[in-house]
Amino acid sequence: MTRVRIGSARHRKHKKIMKAARGFRGAMSRRFNLAKQKTFRAGVYATRDRRRKKRDFRRLWIVRINAACRQRGVQYSRFIRALAEADIRLDRKVLSDMAIADPAAFDAVFAAAMPEEAAKAKAQAAARQPPAQAAQEAPAPAPEPSQPEQQPAAPEQQPPAAQST
């Protein structure tokens, strides 16, 4: 049997690694051994951060839901427990989007989960708003001038030859 040299397979392997290392700084994108190390390390970071991204988004959703609950006078943990007791199965992503994009729908979910707290929150919101009579009064419109305004006369300019240099 003839001896098979590894030249073409090695070339393919090097080419694959060097393609993955494009955009790395300095010698990391030009030298094979460094590129191999850095692409391996980049893969480790990518794997770790795919899992971390899920954690980070969950934390963001919880912060948003907590802010919406605090506006209604309830702690996040009590709201989540009330949802579970009321058998309302909405995940944190949906609740977070609802609290931002559609507060009325979040209010409905809040009222379904915590009816007594929702009544308190509505009463507090009504107490904070100004009286209805003051809100209905609009400022009187400014009177329109009976004569059109005259334009002020433009300042006289000297001819270009008369200007000093």
Report d(CA 65, CA 63) in Å as an integer: 6
pLDDT surpasses 60 at 165:
no
Mean pLDDT lowest among 12-16, 109-113, 147-151: 147-151
- Per residue, the 3-state secondary structure of 103-150, as one string, reads HHHHHHHHHHHCHHHHHHHHHHHHHHCCCHHHHHCCCCCCCCCCCCCC
Q: How confident is the model at residue 116 (pLDDT cuts 50, 70, 90)?
A: confident
Report d(CA 117, CA 120) in Å as an integer: 5
pLDDT surpasses 70 at 44:
yes
- Per-residue model confidence as pLDDT tens digits over 47-98: 999 999 999 999 999 999 999 999 988 999 999 999 999 999 999 999 999 9
pTM, full prediction: 0.64
Q: Which two tokens stand for residue 127?
A: 């107490």
Mean pLDDT lowest among 15-19, 26-30, 52-56, 137-141: 137-141
Q: Would you give the DSSP letter of residue 140?
A: P
Domains in the chain: boundaries = 9-128
Residue 87, phi-psi category: left (phi > 0), alpha (psi -120 to 50), beta (remainder): left
Report d(CA 161, CA 165) in Å as an integer: 10
Q: Which two tokens stand for residue 119?
A: 């009544």
pLDDT surpasses 90 at 43:
yes
- Per-residue model confidence as pLDDT tens digits over 117-147: 777 777 777 777 766 654 555 566 666 666 6
Report d(CA 88, CA 78) in Å as an integer: 14
The CATH code that applies to domain 9-128 is: 1.10.1900.20
